Amino acid sequence: MTPFEWRVRVYWEDTDAGGIVFYANYLKFFERARTEWLRALGVEQQRLRDAEGAMFVVSATDVRYLRPARLDDLLLVTAQVTDAGRASLTIAQSARRDSPAGDLLCEGTIRIGWVDGSTLTPRRMPPSLRQALGLG
């Protein structure tokens, strides 16, 4: 499967006093890329929660910071499922400078779980969601 790609510009609000992207903002970029990946597959999270009474939540992150992104940089953020269970997905993500050199800035894995919206306990993903995600 080809990784999903999403572009984002670095704004003032993303940087620290030195003009470098604050480390926690890469998690925001990763979250937005996962949301846009789902949208591209026709999965709208609010509609899914309303229909199924369940939602995705982040259960674990492992992130490596390699190079800084700076104000006004254009980034290419990717998302790709690397493992799928009955109630969880592991997604490999990266942020690169969107330039000919394509410097890798940050990479990591994010584990998300499918949980009941009221109790926050794990639930099996419905077959229709698994199919939309290309998981069969």
> How far apart (Å, rounded) are the C-alpha atoms in residues 1 and 82?
9
> How far apart (Å, rounded) are the C-alpha atoms in residues 97 and 75?
5
Active-site residue 16, yes or no? yes
Give burial (CB, 10 Å; 0-12/13-18/19+) of 77.
buried
Catalytically annotated residue among 14, 16, 72, 103:
16
- Catalytic residue numbers, as ranges: 16
